[in-house]
Chains A and B, each alone.
Chain A
Amino acid sequence: MAPWLARASSQLARRAARRLLSAPPPSQHRLCPPGPWLLSSAPPVLGTSPLPAAGSGDSRGFCSVRRFTGESSAAAAAAVEEAENGLVAVGGDQAVDFPGGKVSFVAEMNFLPESQKERINCYRVLDDDGRTISGSRFQEVSKELALKMYSEMVTLQVMDTIFFEAQRQGRISFYITSHGEEAINIASAAALTIDDIVLPQYREPGVLLWRGFTLQEFANQCFGNKLDNGKGRQMPIHYGSNRLNYFTVSSPIATQLPHAVGAAYSLKMDKKDACAVTYVGDGGTSEGDFHAALNFAAVMEAPVIFFCRNNGWAISTPTSEQFRSDGAVIRGQAYGMRSIRVDGNDALAVYTAVHAAREMAIKEGRPILVEALTYRVGHHSTSDDSTKYRPVDEIEHWRTARDPISRYRKWVQGNGWWCDADESELRNNVRQELLKAIQVAERMPKPPLAELFTDVYDEIPSNLREQERLLRDTIKKHPADYPADVHI
């Protein structure tokens, strides 16, 4: 752990400890044995209460608002003064031992505000021009790592562009780009090790790319040919690889989050030096599974990183119609979980935040929530036209002025590690390799018919054997009804 990171982590722990220490001391006049559900003392008696039950220890005192019902104005004024001094009625006997720690009683009725005065700030390393902002601290990256990150970001961008075109030409049925989120994809992946288990949503193919999934493998999946790991059963972009610890993508939103908690718990029980990492969009934070997963993770102290890509749009629904909280980051605390907001278009910030999150998750056995602010520059998918619901100017602004790749390139180039010639060579190579991969994938036969019936269970049960037999009879009678590229 970097020294400054260790400092930051222990600072957090100290702060938490202070919160506990600042609770009032236990009552000297406890009548009941200390138990988590027992009031440690009688409720506060303030002024002369008109209610006969006041102070008698009945349970109503627990959430009493009596002071607003019948106090003298002088007492009320004194209480206000107390409140302003921040010394609200927290005498030795005015607190309760409640599960989770001591809770102070106060005389003021204060509703928590719906939000903090200022929005949670956002960690950043590089400014818009790719210069490190003054005072920024970040996890150092070697030239080699920095260049690999850059190359993979460019590769992802080129891959998206070409596959998108292939879909438009009708060669593949569907595609989803990660345009605008290349830094999130690659930098988060770079901060992990291959032993960390990734449970993706669907806009994180860059994580898989980083881990060594080849362009040919991507193409095989998108064409659903016989070399596709998924045997052509799912739509394009539903990648998965056991070898690379990348769970197979499924379309339902946020369902992978509780899986990540289970996977992380397993890693912890096996004492592995690894964590689970799962991704979700801003829309996914509205799902029940988001709540389920964060709560389970906190309670079970599972080493899992929840990475929320807040890209502003869930298909056509903007975040203003998705939630009223300050994004996702604020919710971490409600679950008892550390969280950070990071500039998702700043590769170094994403890398550093995930690196630190991973250290804390594994060493301290705890979940971490990372919210990256970014923008979905592309359409939701090839079935979507986002200009129907958002201004083109907005898209252009993020595509150009806030592009994560060019910002990072400026930093890399500023270090003297990259030049224009390198750039064109890289882009050309990726393009050539991908076009070749597409040609190969396209010509590759589809998986044979027999694979339709495998993997439903570990072994094919009799009902499926019977159905396969019937289907083969039908195919014999009506061969023209069936695609020629599936081997019967």
Chain B
Amino acid sequence: MSESDVTRDGVRDARPGREAMTGVHAGRRGRRRGRSERPMVPDAEFASYYGLPVLNKPTWKPLDIAGYLYLGGLAGASSLLAAGGQLTGRPGLAAPAKLGAAGAVSLSLAALVHDLGRPARFLNMLRVFKPTSPMSVGSWLLAGYAPLALTAAATEVTGRYRPVGSAATVAAAFLGPAVATYTAVLLSDTAVPSWHEGYRELPYVFAGSAATAASGLALAAAPAAQAGPARRLAVLGAALELGAFRVMKRRMGLVAEPFEQGRPRLLLRAAELLTTGGAALALLRGRDRRPALAAGAALLTGSAALRFGVFHAGVASAEDPAYTVAPQRERLTAS
């Protein structure tokens, strides 16, 4: 008989090889010499299978997904500035913020569809609603937010149906903050060590980064007399972003290393300098538009650099088995 079958009464015709004993034929049972098979001193380094990663590397394309993280933040926080500008009588601030939000969310949608393995099936995202899937929640958020942001911008440009536009602007401001911060959950809800372990602080980092990007755009585009809220938001956002990032790295321990190495390190250093510099420049006031333009450019690039830095650091952490194995082994040893 060369095959076994699983029946309702259990396994039939199981092969005898299953019960084979390692080393029994050689005649030894039990340990006579007292030499243990396993070294008593734990290995100083972690073990791995030929140094191969444990995880499969994220399939997301950096330009699409890191770009989306950035644009989503820019759009969400811009909607807040748009609604604020509209409610406080700053049309010069509201207009570019509405256009920025609509442009950024359109580009995000394009990037998200482009990243799919089967772009023609992008509507399958709305097939179900799953709170356990941040991507499902995000798809529904965007499905609600994008039409509002686009309506707000369209009425702004055409000057028609203004009441509808105002309502859309306010409604977009309700969804905008969620669009800006859920992307942190999108990254954290993975097995990628440097994304997952930062789940407590990453939403604040992304909220701050969204604020700096949106205020950068507003600073560059709004007249100086109406840009006061953007100036203050730039400073507050920069403080939140950089502060939360520090706390996050300190808490993460070993898996914070990928943030400090190679390309992510360069990107994150650049993000820090550009965001700090941009926020400082944003405080300068005067007739000269050039500092505001420079501040805007610095804040926009700084926010983008942060998102790309975080993205690449996560990918690097998935590619090195150390970041998967060592913290888990430590956890087992501790318990």
Q: Do A and B bind each other?
A: no
Residues on A lying within 8 angstroms of B by beta carbon are none
Residues on B lying within 8 angstroms of A by beta carbon are none
